Amino acid sequence: MAVIMLPIQSALMAADSPIPPVFQASYADLADLADHAPLVVRAKVRKVAEVEPERAPGLRAGWARLYIEAKTEALIAGSTPLGQDLRYLVDVPRDAKGKLPKLKKKSVILFARTVPARPGELQLVAPDAQLLWDPMLEGRVKALLGELYAPGAPQRITGVRQAIHVPGNLAGEGETQIFLTAEDGEPAAMTVRRSPGMDPVWGVSFSELVAGTGAPAPETLGWYRLACFLPTNLPQGANISDSPADRTAAAQDYAYAMGQMGPCPRNRH
């Protein structure tokens, strides 16, 4: 969404309608925003003006585009110096009566980037990349940023490259290796091992082609990279096992790992 300066044709709104129920961001919602945000800022909204619909291309039905002036309260993440005065555009949903949320004097968390040669202007990483601030939300965002910036953090996974099942010497014994494609080209793989009379054991490696680091816990960055971006079923073209039985085993092992991770809930519209 390009940031442009807009003439304010009506008085900056007091927006006296009540705030709708607080949006409950899931881990995946926060990761979607933070993963692509050079800046994460806490700011206090000072002035709000609605952009005329004809000047808001791509605006969703039932939403409004707002021009906001705010004051920087804290730089949560990022190294770009920011002044006190900020300006940006954001899309917000209307309530059931068509009214806008009351944002003036509220603190918000912004996931954004600066606009070159336009001091004080921010471009949000998504049209709705503004969340109402509260201490718990800020704590969740900081914890997630700590994962993203940690040395050796799991890289972005884009799909499945190959999967192969190798049967063991005993009935019901075998191992499936699932090689993943990563955005940065680094190796990543999942491994599922089966032993007779035991539950399957699976793990993932984001640094070597040997999955020996265990399964990622739910709502962690490793879980997000897999559960939120891998297909539910093993793509047929990726299954290179030799025999039909081995191909079936590879597909079952992949489905097992995905089932263990569970769904990736997202609550953003």
User: What is the pLDDT, as a whole number, of residue 20?
Assistant: 39
Question: How far is CA 123 from each of CA 114, 154, 228, 238, rounded to the nearest angstrom?
Answer: 6, 26, 25, 39
Q: How confident is the model at residue 18 (pLDDT cuts 50, 70, 90)?
A: very low
Q: How confident is the model at residue 33 (pLDDT cuts 50, 70, 90)?
A: very high
pLDDT above 50 (res 152): yes
Q: Does 261 or 24 have the greater pLDDT score?
A: 261
Q: Are 184 and 176 in contact (CB under 8 A)?
A: no
User: What is the pLDDT, as a whole number, of residue 268?
Assistant: 86
User: What is the C-alpha R_g of the chain?
Assistant: 23
Instruction: For residue 154, give the DSSP letter.
Output: P
User: What is the pLDDT, as a whole number, of residue 72?
Assistant: 97
| Among 35, 37, 33, 3, residue whose Cα is nearest residue 112 | 37
Query: Mean per-residue pLDDT for 129-137?
Result: 96
Domain ranges of the chain: 27-149, 157-261
- Indicate whether this model's pTM tops 0.95: no
Burial class (CB within 10 angstroms; exposed 0-12, middle 13-18, buried 19+) of 252: middle
Query: Mean per-residue pLDDT for 238-260?
Result: 96
Instruction: For residue 254, give the DSSP letter.
Output: H
Q: Are 219 and 191 in contact (CB under 8 A)?
A: no
The pLDDT tens digits for 166-202 are 998 888 899 999 999 999 888 899 999 999 989 999 9
Sign for the pseudo-dihedral over CA of 132, 133, 136, 138: positive
Residue with the two structure tokens 């991770």: 261
Query: Mean per-residue pLDDT for 41-48?
Result: 98
CATH 2.40.50.120 assigned to domain 27-149? The reply is yes
Instruction: Share the mean pLDDT of the chain.
Output: 89
The pLDDT tens digits for 60-119 are 999 999 999 999 999 999 988 899 999 999 999 999 999 999 999 999 999 999 999 899
User: What is the pLDDT, as a whole number, of residue 8?
Assistant: 35
Q: How confident is the model at residue 264 (pLDDT cuts 50, 70, 90)?
A: very high
Burial class (CB within 10 angstroms; exposed 0-12, middle 13-18, buried 19+) of 178: buried
**Number of helical H runs and strand E runs in the chain:** 4, 10
pLDDT above 70 (res 19): no
- Percent of the chain surpassing pLDDT 90: 80
Q: Which two tokens stand for residue 115?
A: 């606009």
- Measured at the CA of 174, the angle between CA 257 and CA 177, to 5 degrees, comes to 50
CA separation for the pair 267, 115 (Å, rounded): 28
Alpha helices in 12-164 (DSSP H): 27-34, 135-149
- Concatenating the DSSP letter of every residue in 114-148 gives E-TT-TTBEEESSTT-EEE--HHHHHHHHHHHHHH
